[in-house]
Amino acid sequence: MAHILIVGAGGVGSVAAHKCAQVQQAGGVFDRITLASRGLAKCEAIAASIKKRLGADIATARLDADNVAETTAFLQREKPDLLLNLALPYQDLPLMEACLAAGVDYVDTANYEAPDQAKFEYKWQWAYRERFAERGLCALLGSGFDPGVTNVYTAWAAKHHFDEIRQLDIIDCNAGDHGQPFATNFNPEINIREITQRGRYFEHGEWVETDPLSWAMLFDFPEGIGPKKCFLMFHEELESLTKNIRGLTRARFWMTFSEQYLNHLRVLENVGMTRIDKVEFQGREIVPLQFLKAVLPEPASLGPLTHGRTCIGCVLQGRQAGREKRMYVYNICSHEAAYEEVGSQAISYTTGVPAMIGAKMVLEGKWKTPGVWNMEECDPDPFMADLNRYGLPWKAVDWP
């Protein structure tokens, strides 16, 4: 039995805390759950929701995850077995440092980003590999949906269905609607930093760059979702998958956006509101994107407003037993069903559930190898089984 500390009481932290409490209630591995964040009020609201829905108690605390000394002292006092980082990518390195100092395993859902440069690279976190290995600690990177489940789908297909995967397309569709003119489904600052970057995909051993959101394809999503326009972007799992899945000659990532979303985004970019450098305003320095975040709807507030479904998956092409083969592995998640179950929309749900499962894999010893790991480096089978068990059932179909 184990004590899990969840850091970050936003949309994803809320789902993960509810799911950990569900596992606890069923006699699973989390016998103590602590939720800590920058502000106590959000932690307490989540704890109250868990108490109301499940009758379970979790502990709450205030914690500044940017402060390594404060976090280390907190870990030494509370003695969790694992820290699940659901704060922001800026906190990855301080939290990894604190885990090393206090001897605690670590899981996150997004690669480290420095606040003043929107770069999506694992190099800073991979640099911790030896230190975690030497301390006998495990750090699992990117245990959300994408990255996360998409890496596991690819590893599972490579293990059971292909001798060699040559082409991979990860396709992320939010076919839901929250009725707001413009809102992001997860932290607006992190989301807008990501989608305003230049596109990048992997082909024949090289990275090819494209202008931001300049390439699109139409993809016909299954189960009545239908055709949607998907835009090519860079996404961090491409970096690890092209290293770890041997034989890949092409890997791309696509995401759907509505015309309305793109029009708002273009205007915001054109007027400078997505800038991440500091500007002077009324005698103090502000970052325009951080100001924009403060006036946009909080993703957690979209839960009761969002209808429809998400469909995220991988189209994989390669060979098995001398035969050419193409396969689609995907999950469809309903915004309304997620809200009914845990009070959050499906974007937070599809991230919070795999975050809980990643932590569970480490704490149950199934994925607890000392070092720093991306998801596809671990055995996909127990994770795939838990996706079906804990609310993200998947399908794998031949895809002509």
Nearer to ligand NDP by Cβ, of 300 and 316: the residue is 300
Nearer to ligand NDP by Cβ, of 5 and 318: the residue is 5
Nearer to ligand NDP by Cβ, of 102 and 110: the residue is 110
Closest contact distance (angstroms) between CB of 74 and ligand NDP is 11
Which residues make beta-bridge pairs with 105? 82
Closest contact distance (angstroms) between CB of 312 and ligand NDP is 8
Closest contact distance (angstroms) between CB of 398 and ligand NDP is 26
Closest contact distance (angstroms) between CB of 95 and ligand NDP is 9
Closest contact distance (angstroms) between CB of 63 and ligand NDP is 5
- Distance CA(302)–CA(298), nearest Å, equals 7
Nearer to ligand NDP by Cβ, of 153 and 162: the residue is 153
- Distance CA(368)–CA(121), nearest Å, equals 24
Preceding peptide of 147 cis, ω within 30°: yes
Closest contact distance (angstroms) between CB of 141 and ligand NDP is 10
Nearer to ligand NDP by Cβ, of 23 and 152: the residue is 152
Nearer to ligand NDP by Cβ, of 162 and 241: the residue is 241
- Looking only at the bridges linking them, the beta strands covering 309-320 and 59-62 are unpaired
Closest contact distance (angstroms) between CB of 291 and ligand NDP is 14
Closest contact distance (angstroms) between CB of 8 and ligand NDP is 3
- Distance CA(250)–CA(233), nearest Å, equals 14
Nearer to ligand NDP by Cβ, of 318 and 333: the residue is 333
Nearer to ligand NDP by Cβ, of 39 and 393: the residue is 39
Chain residue whose CB lies nearest ligand NDP: 10
Q: List residues near ligand NDP by CB under 6 A.
A: 7-13, 37-39, 42, 63-66, 86-89, 91, 109-110, 142, 144-148, 186-187, 190, 299-300, 351
